[in-house]
Structure 1
Amino acid sequence: MADAAIPTVDLSPFFNELNEDGKKKAKEVISQACSNYGFFQIVNHGVPLALMNRAMEVSKAFFTYPEEEKLKCCPGSGAPLPAGYSKQPEHSADKNEYVLMFPPGSSFNVFPTNPPEFQKIVEEMFTYFIKTAQLLESIISECLGLPPNFLKEYNHDRSWDFMTALRYFPATETENNGVSEHEDGNLITFVVQDEIGGLEVRKDGQWIPVTPIEGTLVVNVSDVIQVLSNNKFKSATHRVLRSKGRDRHSFAFFYNLQGDKWVEPLSQFTTEIGEPPKYRGFLLKDYQALRMRNKTHPPSRPEDVIHITHYAIST
């Protein structure tokens, strides 16, 4: 039987150099969460609550505008993903619209001009998210027993991070899918939910709701961490369900790896401990291209959707 809630971790000890006991306990919880769920929540993470609330307000305001106004923030060209405003295609099983943004200063960004403060607020939150992700990256590196700064040096390019502001349409009598069940293809993901909720994570065949708590960031480790750790840490399957009669709003931040990086199980989890690698190596951009094709040309059969298991080595 799966637990009824994913773990919550207090990150305040990592802002206090003297609280070694608190750091140790937090790392134990994170290690267990990454091994068992791939998901956990964090509090006292350093991202100001007032900023998170204001970002949610301007996002909600943007999505209330008429379609012609939203289309002024059209996808940019040349980006690894379509920056700016987009809506899921009609044939998609997912029912949402979103604004996709890259790090502040990126030439790929196409920000809404209304509300006027949208760009300033979102860029500020983006900067905080990067700092928090870097902290978690170092904690996860320690939890895995990797050399100091190993993941930081491996993943030093922040230009491939991105964030989405999302609006999910209300459920209908026949459809309640917001985002189909999937795993994330990056390293670490943050989610900020509004009070509607809807995010669920699968464990032991059951779907566990992730209850919204003000000021909390939902964290999941993703496919790259799963491959590097040779399945020691899990990239959990999750989905979003829509509510009847109510929009759902959220932000998702993707702490990502540069596309030309080679990804394969690390020797610390294979040859050094006598374990066979569970995945063959690949360029991240090749995997991202396969995942994008899942969206642009959805397979007719669910079993044909590309997951990280595409690179799994048969035993």
Structure 2
Amino acid sequence: MKHTGAAMAHPPVIDVSALVDARASQAGKLGAARAIDAAAREWGFFYAQHHGVDAALVDRVVSQARAFFALDEVRKLRIPMSAGGLAWRGYFPAGGELTSGRPDWKEGLYLGSELGPDHPRVRAGVILHGPNLWPDLPGFRETVLAYLDAMSALGQALMRGCALGLGVPESYFAEHDTADPLLLLRFFNYPTRAAPENLDVQWGVGEHTDYGLLTMLWQDDAGGLQVRTDTGWVDAPPIPGTFVCNIGDMLDRMTGGRWRSASHRVAVNTSGRDRLSIPLFFDPDFDTVIAPVPGAGPGQDDSGRRWDGANLQSFRGTYGEYVTAKVGKVFPGLKASLRRE
């Protein structure tokens, strides 16, 4: 394991092979778990190395994402988010997503677990549940669904490591929060072209924290991701063969602030070529009542260190309630149109 320390230039790289290999020793699992605990305390971020996700599958997903963004705007807008309804799926053009009320300079495709019309939550009209809107590209659907399965398995493995790092049984999260995780997959393209002046764009993505448990990010070699630390902003550069992982708000809340949901942002792309990133948000089951992990305190008011000035430790309720309040701020126009239906 690589040592975490204030002098490090970026979040630590952690070998997680013991967490994904069923034959690994308990000592190996505990070593990875301790490294995750240290990184989550100090950074709220780490790189997962030797994660077991097939490199050929990752390459296929990347190729499909690039093929989609290479389509002309008319073809991409055949599957707009307005057509996804409550499932909150589909495409939005550059400048169409907001962070803290300001447009981000990226375009994106929202995807997630494929749920048919007979699924109880789809029938009930629960937000963030439903079918995906698939572009007309050969192999796209099959590749994305295979990637979702692989990343869900990695998420469960990393959460076993998180549990051990917190001193609870490795099955804790699977038994309490992630038996049926909410999986949200995003394809983001950061254009190299400049944003129109009327949009008042400052960032590819403005400062924010993620909502759920754990984010697992593939990023290309263009760079731009930055993490906020106690001493300032630090780059989280691409490292081949890794996923950048970060702690979400709910895991911060569950640990009483022991682990940090760290602010991060993405600079406007000036690399001279479009930048691609693919985050997978591994979140609690929608109906999970958020509760502290055994041994965690209630947490103290953390509004002074948070980007939004909110006291995360005061949250009471289900993950569905938390995430529903958040997503409407990202696409306020879509939220308003759904409310009228």
2:214 corresponds to 1:188: yes
Contact 2:44 2:259 in 1 (8 A): yes
Relative distance call for 1:47 and 1:106 in structure 2 (3 A) is farther
Residue correspondences, number = 294
- What residue in structure 1 maps to residue 304 of structure 2? none
The change in CA–CA distance for 1:56 and 1:176 in structure 2 (over 3 A counts) is farther
Instruction: Give the match for residue 270 of structure 1.
Output: 297
Q: Do structure 1's residue 4 and structure 2's residue 9 form an aligned pair? A: yes
Distance in 1 between residues matched to 2:109 and 2:35, nearest whole Å: 33
Compared with structure 1, are the counterparts of its residues 280 and 253 closer, same or farther at alpha carbon in structure 2 (3 Å cutoff)? closer
Partner of 2:103, secondary structure, is: coil
**2:221 aligned with 1:215:** no
Correspondences of 1:166-205 after superposition (within 5 Å): 166-170=188-192, 172=194, 175=201, 177-205=203-231
Equivalent of residue 110 in structure 2, options 96, 100, 121: 100
**Structure 2 regions of 5+ residues with no counterpart?**
1-5, 118-129, 302-312, 334-341
Query: Paired residue for 2:274?
Result: 247
- Quick check: 35-44 or 170-179, which moved more? 170-179
Tell me by how many angstroms 1:78 deviates.
4.5
Provide Cα deviations, 1:190-237, integer angstroms capped at 9, x if missing partner.
Answer: 100011121111111411111112221111111111101100111111
TM-fit CA distance, 1:148:
4.2
**Correspondence for 2:158:** 136
TM-score when normalising by structure 1: 0.84
Amino acid at match of 2:112: F
| % same residue | 27
CA shift for structure 1 position 261:
2.2
**What runs of 5+ residues in structure 1 fail to find an aligned partner?**
299-315
SS in 1 for 2:8: coil
2:142 matched to which residue of 1? 120
Change (3 A) 1:268 1:205: same
| Structure 2 CA distance for partners of 1:222 and 1:10, relative to 1, 3 Å | same
Cα 1:284–1:40 shift into 2, 3 Å: same
CA distance in structure 1 between the partners assigned to 2:29 and 2:202 by the alignment: 40
Aligned partners of 1:147 and 1:202: how far apart in 2? Answer: 31
C-alpha RMSD over aligned residues: 2.5
Q: CA distance change for structure 1 residues 161 and 18 in 2, over 3 Å: closer, same or farther? A: closer
Q: Which moved more, 1:258-267 or 1:247-256?
A: 258-267
Picking from 296, 305, 312, the partner of 2:331 is: 296
Change (3 A) 1:106 1:242: farther
